[in-house]
C-alpha cells in the first residue's frame, strides 16, 4: 500500500495520505494559555509539509491541571478566535487537523502549585527526581464526573473553532492511562479493580465526547499498547480495551507506549532495555490491530519512508511521525518528491534515565521553538545546552503561570 493513498474513516471523512504528524508537547502557548504567533508559525510549517493528519500537542481541558506551564488550554470560549486562527492554519494545506485533549493526573509538576488529581494516591517513582511532581490526591466521584464533562466540553469547543477532530489521550501515563493501570489505580469502587472498572473512565469519556460533537467530527483515542512496567497495563489489557472501543464510534486508534516512569515512547523500557530504533511498537501494534474494527495508527521512532511502508504492509492503516517532523517539517512533501530523507536526532545516553528523558524532550522542543520563530532546525544541538535552555524557559513560564493563577 502506498503511503500516499487516502484513508477513509468510519464516519465518512477522509485523510489524504497515510502519514500523520504525531503529537509533541510544544509549551508555546501565550500567557493566557492560548495559541498565538509561535504556534501559528510552527503549524504553518507542518501544514505546508504534506502530512495527511496533524495532531496538536497536549491541549488541556482544565487550566488547573497542566502537563507544562506553557501548555494550551481549551476550557471555554474566551480565546476561541485564536483557536479558529490555529485551525485555519493547520487545515490550510488540506490536512485533517485534530486537537489532542489531555489531563495529566499525577504527572503534574509540583512547582506549578496545583493539586494533582489521580485515581489513587500513588506518587511517581523517579528516584531523586520524584519530588518534581505533586503528591496526587485520589479523585472523588464528583472529580471524575467533572473530568468526563470537561473532555466533552473541550471537544465541542474544538469543533466550534473549526478543527476536524479530537484525540483523547489515554496513553503515556496521563490521567486516563493511570486509571487503566493496576499500578496506579488501586481503587476499590466502580472505577478500580477489574480491567472493566479501570477502563470505565476511558469509555465514559469517549461516549461523552461522541455525544457532544457532530457525526462528521472525528473522534480518536491514543492508547498504550503497554506501559512497559512489570505488573502494569499490558498487551492483553490493551486487546480487551480495544474490543470495548470497537463498540463505540472511534475513527482512529493510535497505539504508543510508556509513561514518565518508563519512557518507551523515547525508545527506553523500564529496565533500561533499548527498543528497536524505528517503529518501536510495530510488532505489538500489528497484533492488536487484528482485533480493532477502526483504523489503527502506530507512532514511535519512525523516520524513513521504507519503515512507513513496512508499517502499512503489516496491516496498520497509518504511521505517526513526531521527532523526524520536528527536525524536518517538510519531510512528507520531500518523500513525495522522491527525496530519500531520514532526519534523526543523536540519542541521549546519559546514565540517569529520568534526566536523559528530559534531555531528549528538550532537544525536540529546541527544534520546535526554532521553527516557531521562523528559523531552521539545529538537530546537532548539544543535549545539555538544550536542557539548560528548556529549564530556563520552563522556569520563566512557571512563574508566569503561577502569577496568572494567583489572580
Mean pLDDT of 373-384: 97
Please give the Cα distance from 407 to 405 (Å, whole number).
5
Please tell me the distance from the alpha carbon of residue 217 to that of residue 11, in angstroms, as a whole number: 8
**What is the four-CA torsion angle of 22, 89, 68, 401, rounded to 10 degrees?**
180
pLDDT class for 265, splitting at 50, 70, 90? Answer: low
Among 62, 68, 63, 98, smallest CA distance to 83 is for 98
Q: Which structural domains are found in the chain, ordered by start?
A: 7-406 (3.20.20.70)
pLDDT tens-digit readout, 321-340: 999 999 999 999 999 999 99
- pLDDT for residue 69 is more than 60: yes
Q: Does the pTM exceed 0.85?
A: yes
Burial degree of 279 (CB within 10 A; 0-12, 13-18, 19+): buried
**Exposure class string for 101-118: b at 16+ Cβ within 10 A, else e:** bbbbbbbbbebbebebbb
At 380-404, the pLDDT tens digits run: 999 999 999 999 999 999 999 999 9
Q: Is the pLDDT of residue 271 over 70?
A: no
Confidence of residue 281 (pLDDT cuts 50, 70, 90): low
pLDDT tier at 135 (50, 70, 90 boundaries)? Answer: very high
User: What is the enclosing helix (H) or strand (E) of 166?
Assistant: strand 165-170
Mean pLDDT, range 25-52, rounded to an integer: 97
CA distance 72 to 27: 7
Confidence label for 280 from pLDDT (cuts 50, 70 and 90):
low
Element housing 391 (H / E): helix 383-406
Q: What is the DSSP string of 191-226?
A: TSSSHHHHTHHHHHHHHHHHHHS-TTSEEEEEEES-
The pLDDT, as a whole number, for residue 266 is 47
Bridge partners (DSSP) of residue 97 are 54
Q: DSSP 3-state assignment of 100?
A: strand
- Residue carrying C-alpha cell 478500580: 192
Amino acid at each position: 500500500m502506498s503511503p500516499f493513498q487516502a484513508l477513509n474513516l468510519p464516519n465518512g471523512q477522509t485523510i489524504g495520505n497515510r502519514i500523520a504528524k504525531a503529537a509533541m508537547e510544544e509549551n508555546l502557548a501565550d500567557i493566557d494559555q492560548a495559541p498565538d504567533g509561535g504556534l501559528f508559525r510552527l503549524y504553518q510549517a507542518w501544514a505546508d509539509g504534506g502530512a495527511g493528519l496533524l495532531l496538536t500537542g497536549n491541549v488541556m481541558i482544565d487550566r488547573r491541571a497542566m502537563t507544562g506551564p506553557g501548555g494550551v488550554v481549551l476550557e471555554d470560549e474566551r480565546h476561541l478566535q485564536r483557536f479558529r486562527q490555529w485551525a485555519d492554519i493547520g487545515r490550510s494545506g488540506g490536512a485533517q487537523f485534530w486537537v489532542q485533549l489531555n489531563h495529566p493526573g499525577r504527572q503534574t509538576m509540583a512547582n506549578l502549585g496545583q493539586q494533582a488529581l489521580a485515581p489513587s494516591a500513588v506518587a511517581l517513582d523517579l528516584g531523586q527526581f520524584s519530588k518534581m511532581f505533586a503528591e496526587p490526591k485520589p479523585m472523588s466521584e464528583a472529580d471524575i464526573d467533572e473530568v468526563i464533562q470537561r473532555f466533552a466540553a473541550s471537544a465541542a469547543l474544538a469543533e466550534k473553532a473549526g478543527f476536524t477532530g479530537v484525540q483523547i489521550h489515554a496513553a503515556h501515563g496521563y490521567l486516563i492511562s493511570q486509571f487503566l493501570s493496576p499500578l496506579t489505580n488501586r481503587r476499590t469502587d466502580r472505577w478500580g479493580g477489574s480491567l472493566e472498572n479501570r477502563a470505565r473512565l476511558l469509555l465514559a469519556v469517549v461516549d461523552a465526547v461522541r455525544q457532544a460533537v457532530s457525526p462528521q467530527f472525528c473522534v480518536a483515542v491514543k492508547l498504550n499498547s503497554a506501559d512497559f512496567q512489570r505488573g502494569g497495563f499490558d498487551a492483553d489489557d490493551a486487546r480487551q480495551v480495544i474490543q470495548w472501543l470497537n463498540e463505540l464510534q472511534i475513527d482512529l486508534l493510535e497505539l504508543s507506549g510508556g509513561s514518565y516512569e518508563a519512557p518507551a515512547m523515547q525508545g527506553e523500557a523500564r529496565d533500561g532495555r533499548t527498543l528497536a530504533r524505528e517503529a518501536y511498537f510495530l510488532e505489538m501494534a500489528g497484533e492488536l490491530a487484528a482485533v480493532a474494527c477502526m483504523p489503527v495508527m502506530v507512532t514511535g521512532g519512525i523516520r524513513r519512508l521504507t519503515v512507513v511502508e513496512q508499517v502499512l504492509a503489516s496491516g496498520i492503516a497509518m504511521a505517526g511521525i513526531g521527532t523526524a517532523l520536528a527536525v524536518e517539517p517538510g519531510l512528507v512533501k520531500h518523500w513525495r518528491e522522491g527525496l530519500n530523507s531520514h532526519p534523526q536526532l543523536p540519542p541521549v545516553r546519559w546514565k540517569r534515565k529520568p534526566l536523559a528523558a528530559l534531555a531528549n524532550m528538550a532537544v525536540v522542543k529546541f527544534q520546535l521553538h526554532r521553527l516557531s520563530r521562523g528559523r531552521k532546525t539545529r538537530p546537532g544541538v548539544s543535549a545539555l545546552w538544550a536542557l539548560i535552555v528548556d529549564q530556563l524557559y520552563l522556569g520563566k513560564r512557571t512563574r508566569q503561570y503561577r502569577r496568572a493563577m494567583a489572580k
